[in-house]
């Protein structure tokens, strides 16, 4: 695929809660110091059970955690956070229907933007984008600056190829967290598709130090530079990508010569070079090196649409 996969990422974006801290008073009840999804005073016994369940969950004892969360609910039936955490456990176990049921029980107690997000993620992971967007939008109506809510709302629009709306949400994410990896990746793709290469590079710049796939980053810096006519910069970035991707090594010698000053000298008769390569490719299944060379020749000739169509067709082939 052209861009890093992002579908199915919802499992790691569940809202994990912290232990509830007990606040000393003279009664048997308490007001939690941090009111995570709690709408009223919670009995001390329920909080202690909840904290025990949370610890079990973190150490991998999911069965014990589920039992404790249910026990906490028996003590305090309106324990919204316990219902949410039960939903998270089922989601991580791949039991989506049970997760959804638990989130819906929590929402009967009260609306919370984090639970709405978790519920939307379950629908998103089932490719039910209409229902997912409904919950993400409702989540944002409660907390407009919610980073994950804005990211997922943008992701739904991105997957539906509604890039204008996706851009709006991703920009909100980046405003709150300039180095948000996924939002910058996807926003850079939107700008790349629009041929707004400088904006695409700005997104990549923000995640240059945190992105784990440096080869990917260098490839698309290189492509952006190439389309902007910055051939020396393109060579530098693409060469860096080649050094970490041995399968591209056969293209390295070609790229070393690809400077503005040398390109026409190397190509010679441009029309003849294009015709020969087109005929060669038509007779066999072309590889990335062949398509890259041909797209570059089209660009040298000024036939940008042909170059773009060639790259896009190869991208679709890889994605299929």
- Judge whether 40 lies within some domain: yes
Query: Do 236 and 229 touch, CB atoms closer than 8 A?
Result: no
Given a contact cutoff of 8 angstroms between Cβ atoms, the answer to whether 37 and 80 are in contact is yes
Residue 153 in domain:
no
- In this structure, what DSSP letter does residue 16 have? P
Q: For 221-278, what is each residue's pLDDT tens digit? A: 989 998 888 888 888 888 787 676 655 555 555 555 555 556 655 556 778 878 888 8
For residues 198-204, average pLDDT: 95
Above 80 in pLDDT, residue 129? yes
β-partners of residue 132 are none
Q: Which of 76, 110, 144 delimits the end of a domain?
A: 110
Indicate whether 157 belongs to any domain: no
pLDDT tens figures, 132-183: 999 999 999 999 999 999 999 999 999 999 999 999 999 999 999 999 999 9
Q: Is residue 215 domain-resident?
A: no
Q: Which among 69, 84, 110 is the end of a domain?
A: 110
pLDDT at 263: 61
Instruction: Give the CA count within 13 Å in the CB-facing half-sphere of 94.
Output: 0
pLDDT at 301: 73
User: Largest Cα–Cα distance in the chain?
Assistant: 91
- CATH no. for residue 95? 1.25.40.10
Cα 166 to Cα 93: distance, rounded to the nearest angstrom: 30
Q: Which pairs count as long-range contacts for 10-13, CB under 8 Å and 24+ apart, including other chains? A: 10/121, 10/122, 10/124, 10/125, 10/152, 11/91, 11/92, 11/121, 11/125, 13/117, 13/121, 13/148, 13/152
Question: What are 43's strand-pairing partners?
Answer: 29
203 inside domain: no
Report yes or no on 161 lying in a domain.
no
Residue 147 resides in a domain: no
Domain that holds residue 277: 268-320
Final residue before a domain boundary, out of 110, 127, 151: 110
In a domain, 278, yes or no: yes
Sequence-distant (6+) residues with CB within 8 A of 56 are 62, 64, 65, 68
- Nearest-10 crossing angle of helices 163-176, 181-193: 140
Structural domains counted in the chain: 2
* Residue written as token pair 């939903």: 87
């Amino acid at each position: 695929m052209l861009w890093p996969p992002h579908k199915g990422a919802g499992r790691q974006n569940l809202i994990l809660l912290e232990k509830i801290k007990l606040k000393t008073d003279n009664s048997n009840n308490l007001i939690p110091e941090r009111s995570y999804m709690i709408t009223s005073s919670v009995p001390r016994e329920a909080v202690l059970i909840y904290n025990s369940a949370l610890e079990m969950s973190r150490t991998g004892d999911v069965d014990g955690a589920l039992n404790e969360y249910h026990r906490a609910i028996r003590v305090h039936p309106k324990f919204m956070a316990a219902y949410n955490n039960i939903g998270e456990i089922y989601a991580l176990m791949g039991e989506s229907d049970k997760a959804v049921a638990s989130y819906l029980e929590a929402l009967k107690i009260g609306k919370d933007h984090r639970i709405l997000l978790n519920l939307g993620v379950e629908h998103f992971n089932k490719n039910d984008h209409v229902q997912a967007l409904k919950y993400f939008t409702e989540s944002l109506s409660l907390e407009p600056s919610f980073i994950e809510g804005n990211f997922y709302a943008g992701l739904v629009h991105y997957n539906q190829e509604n890039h204008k709306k996706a851009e709006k949400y991703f920009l909100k994410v980046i405003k709150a967290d300039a180095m948000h990896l996924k939002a910058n990746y996807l926003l850079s793709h939107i700008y790349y598709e629009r041929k707004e290469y400088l904006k695409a590079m700005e997104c990549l710049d923000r995640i240059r130090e945190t992105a784990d796939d440096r080869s990917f980053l260098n490839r698309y810096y290189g492509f952006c530079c190439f389309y902007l006519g910055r051939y020396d910069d393109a060579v530098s970035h693409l060469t860096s990508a080649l050094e970490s991707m041995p399968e591209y090594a056969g293209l390295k010698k070609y790229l070393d010569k690809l400077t503005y000053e040398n390109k026409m000298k190397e190509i010679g008769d441009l029309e003849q070079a294009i015709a020969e390569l087109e005929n060669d490719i038509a007779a066999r299944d072309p590889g990335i090196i062949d398509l890259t060379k041909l797209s570059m020749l089209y660009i040298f000739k000024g036939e940008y649409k042909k170059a773009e169509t060639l790259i896009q067709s190869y991208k679709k082939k890889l994605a299929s």
